Amino acid sequence: MVCGGFACSKNALCALNVVYMLVGLLLIGVAAWGKGLGLVSSIHIIGGVMAVGVFLLLIAVAGLVGAVNHHQVLLFFYMIILGLVFIFQFVISCSCLAINRSKQTDVINASWWVMSNKTRDELERSFDCCGLFNLTTLYQQDYDFCTAICKSQSPTCQMCGEKFLKHSDEALKILGGVGLFFSFTEILGVWLAMRFRNQKDPRANPSAFL
């Protein structure tokens, strides 16, 4: 069987959908990790990436079932939805990579001061840091009431804002890089599905309509 044959197209489409399932799980996991910081929960891009991961996972399952069964209807909707996911994922991935540290700092600042004292205290103990950024008079108040372990072990503690920036920067870069790279493979998925859909199954009835 040549590579352009029915079996090769079917295997390639199945393999591609398995990769999409793994990418979808990776996007969901990294987005959840970034959102788990608490401070970046207000960045709607994180939620967007998580939505893309869920949709990609679902469409990959549909594509896998369609490829295994050579299901015409499933393959048709697979091509349409995967094309839309490509557009959405491409835009979201570019947005992740475009957010600079200044914007992240503004979002973290805005989120920090609307948190309850209990939430801020839990974050300080969790990340072993005190205060956010030493930019306001409220920083000293935060530092005075800080209960992080580092306060008892050294004269000064690292500011929480620096740690939050590091983690959010890593999350956004991973999300943007992975999402952008695999968004282009979705074009391949659309092409493979279109090609496979128009091929005749050699095991099927030769007079069957495709």
Domain contains 142: no
Which pLDDT does position 154 carry in this prediction? 72
Domain contains 47: yes
Which pLDDT does position 139 carry in this prediction? 65
Non-local CB neighbours of 204 within 8 Å, separated by 6+ positions: 70
Question: Whole-model pTM above 0.85?
Answer: no
Residue 45 has pLDDT above 70, yes or no: no
Domain contains 131: no
Q: Which of 76-80, 148-152, 169-173, 203-207 has the highest mean pLDDT?
A: 76-80
Phi, psi of 145 (to 5 degrees): -95, 5
- Percent with pLDDT over 90 in the chain: 0
Which pLDDT does position 1 carry in this prediction? 40
Q: Which two tokens stand for residue 5?
A: 């044959």
Residue 59 has pLDDT above 70, yes or no: yes
Domain contains 14: yes
Domain contains 48: yes
Q: Provide the domain limits for residue 79.
A: 8-87+178-196
DSSP states along 143-179: HHT---THHHHSSS---HHHHHHHHHHHHHHHHHHHH
Non-local CB neighbours of 37 within 8 Å, separated by 6+ positions: 164, 167, 168, 171
Which pLDDT does position 40 carry in this prediction? 46
Domain contains 104: no
Residue 140 has pLDDT above 80, yes or no: no
Domain count, the chain: 1
Q: Is 181 exposed, middle or buried (0-12, 13-18, 19+ CB in 10 A)?
A: exposed
Domain contains 122: no
Is residue 23 within 8 Å of 56, Cβ to Cβ? yes
Residue type, 25: L
Domain contains 135: no
